[in-house]
Amino acid sequence: MTAYSNNPDLTEQTQPGQIDSEDILSGAKAVERGVARLFYRHDILLMPEMSLPNHRRADLMGLDAKGQIILIEIKVARGDLLGDNKWREYLDYCDRFYWALPPELDASPLDQPDFLPERAGVIIADAYDAEIVRPAKTQALSAARRNSETRRIARRAMQRHAILKGWDDSDLNHVHF
């Protein structure tokens, strides 16, 4: 059997990127997948769960073909969206910032001045696709910050690849870039 998932019940007909009926995604994972599929089609490659130097964690962080850094914060509940007071701390680490929400969540709070609608983009996503309903304004990082963040993203990607390949040493798993 050809396995594309950690689920041993998947059949050989399941291809990478397909969802088996037992693997239906919901909540933040569904939004994450929809955003990743949209961005992949636009040559923007993403990494989930990226730690930032300021000890925050980005839900999704990625690079476009021009080397711009994009950060996406996923919210699936109104209380979580309205109670997030740390998101502005992400802006120092990206050229473009997006909120990503499921279709059933009211996005109107993101039009309020506290959510910087002139800067922050909005994406509506489900497990299958996503749509940018408000583009993010580009605010270019300094060359030094872009260099350090790009290297950090690349090193994290290589670290995750090494772990997937079984090349890791369990003593090194605590290292975060």
**Would 162 be classed as within a structural domain?**
no
For residue 101 the two structure tokens come to: 């929400």
**Would 35 be classed as within a structural domain?**
yes
**Would 169 be classed as within a structural domain?**
no
Query: What is the end-to-end Cα distance of the chain in Å, rounded?
Result: 36
**Would 152 be classed as within a structural domain?**
no
**Would 58 be classed as within a structural domain?**
yes
Q: Say yes or no to pLDDT of 66 above 90.
A: yes
- Residue 68 structural domain: 21-140
CB 88 within 8 A of CB 135: no
**Would 166 be classed as within a structural domain?**
no
Q: Which residues, including other chains, have CB under 8 Å from residue 85's CB and lie 6 or more apart?
A: none
pLDDT given for residue 169 in this prediction: 75
**Would 145 be classed as within a structural domain?**
no
We report the CATH number of the domain holding residue 44 as 3.40.1350
Mean pLDDT across the stretch 63-73? 97
Q: Say yes or no to pLDDT of 18 above 50.
A: yes
pLDDT given for residue 168 in this prediction: 82
Per-residue pLDDT band for 1 (boundaries 50, 70, 90) equals very low
pLDDT given for residue 9 in this prediction: 42
Give the total number of structural domains in the chain: 1
Q: Which residues, including other chains, have CB under 8 Å from residue 28's CB and lie 6 or more apart?
A: 59, 74, 76
Rg of the chain taking only CA atoms, in angstroms? 17
